[in-house]
Amino acid sequence: MCTNNQQLTDQNTRATSTRLAIWDLEPKFHCSIIGTCLSIKELQRLGSKMKLSRKTLHDSYQLHSAFVALVNERSIEARLVNKLLNKKFRQSILRFNHAKQPLELFALWQEGLKSGEIAAAFWSLITHPNTPTELVFSALGKVHMLSHLSGETIRVDMLKLTKLQRVLPELEEQLISQEKKSQQALAKKDKLIQQLHKQISALQDSDRQLKLTSDRLQQLEQQIGSGALQQQNEQLSKQLQGTESRITRAEKETEEWKTLASVRVKDYDQLEVRMDQLISEQATVEQTLQNFLSPACMTGAADGAGNIDLCNRCILFVGGRNRQSAHFRNLVEKLNGRFLHHDGGVEESSQRLSALVAQSDAVLCPLDCVSHDAMNRIKRDCKHQGKSLQLLRQSGLATFTQGLQRIATEH
């Protein structure tokens, strides 16, 4: 890789004073240019104008190969491709045109790598008349290796998907088992409640009878003044108190069983919600990975091929784990978006968070990996600036992908 400033200064530039066209470049560059700088949708639209066959237009690999072959020499088709590239990256080309020295070109190339605008910087650099040959081939190597890194990311995502698929049947079995237990427990509780109601009804009948008897005894006691009747009345009063105590205990037990049954029903509802979330997240990840795994050369063949289209919106991800940031960035960029990240105040300044919210179109924030201060700041800034805020239950590829899908469907 070209990093030596002295080498860049001493390296001879190409013998031309005007910007190169795509057919002026060596054939080894054409595959990377077509794959990195143009999306499948752009190739399909251009291929339709060129009257390419329907089979070629709907096969990403054949479409890519056809354009690589078309730009090998100067032709009407090659001029159309060159015109599209110059138009698409016009702003980047204008910036590169101001650079006259190799070190200035190298600095602009590094800036493009850091900002993620690799395709624009790559085309602007390799077609510039003053770019040293060593820097041209260094850029080609960098773009080539980035395609390998993207493939590695997809393989990691496939492993995660496999793990999710293994866990899902276990969760389904747990849910079914818990549902059966809950239904059995509810049936037992209903039966017990019915029995308790019957006992309460019987005790209430007994209570009424005892009260009638007590009233009758009092009348007799007043009329006769018999000591035996008074003693019998005291016994009946004790029986009445005992009956009332049993009724109170039975009513208390009934309420306890009702409370327990309500808790079981709530647990079952929470399990159902959790299961629906996992199924939805799995479906989102499977669909996204399926779209990314279509046959292609380098990284460009899958661009724009998914169901999620972020329409060049800027996505800010706050919190999470730093090692996930690169994977999330690749995913957002493949879904036609731009990516910003803030660690939620662990190392980066909290004051910078408000500025990033202002630059973004939508914000994603995992609830399990962000500080309370950052969360409060995000909610306040998003409400104040009218930005979309998606709170994720955890920091992971599945929940992140599902959050992107919700953002894409909001507009």
Give 20-65 pLDDT, tens digit per residue: 999 999 999 999 999 999 999 999 999 999 999 999 999 999 999 9
Query: Within a domain: residue 11?
Result: no
In contact, 64 and 52? CB cutoff 8 Å: no
Query: Within a domain: residue 114?
Result: yes
Query: Within a domain: residue 352?
Result: yes
* DSSP assigned state of 99: -
pLDDT reported for residue 105: 92
Query: Within a domain: residue 67?
Result: yes
Query: Within a domain: residue 42?
Result: yes
Burial class (CB in 10 A: 0-12, 13-18, 19+), 5: exposed
pLDDT reported for residue 233: 72
Q: What are phi and psi of 383, to 5 degrees?
A: -65, -40
CA–CA distance, 147 with 141 (Å, rounded to integer): 10
Query: Within a domain: residue 279?
Result: yes
Provide the 10 A C-beta neighbour count for residue 149.
11
In contact, 398 and 164? CB cutoff 8 Å: yes
Query: Within a domain: residue 211?
Result: no
Question: Residues of the chain with pLDDT > 70: what percent?
Answer: 80
Tokens of 233: 């009345």
Buried b (16+ CB within 10 A) or exposed e, 224-251: eeeeebeeebeebeeebeebeeebeeee
Query: Within a domain: residue 32?
Result: yes
Residues 279 and 320 in one domain: no
Total tally of structural domains belonging to the chain: 3
Give 263-274 pLDDT, tens digit per residue: 877 776 776 666
Look-up of token digits 């992140």:
400
In contact, 389 and 365? CB cutoff 8 Å: yes
Specify the pTM: 0.38
Residues 331 and 280 in one domain: no
- Quote the domain boundaries for residue 327: 314-408
Reply yes or no on whether the pLDDT at 7 is more than 60: no
Residues 321 and 255 in one domain: no
Residues 321 and 277 in one domain: no
Among the ranges 111-125, 261-275, 293-307, which has the highest mean pLDDT value? Answer: 111-125
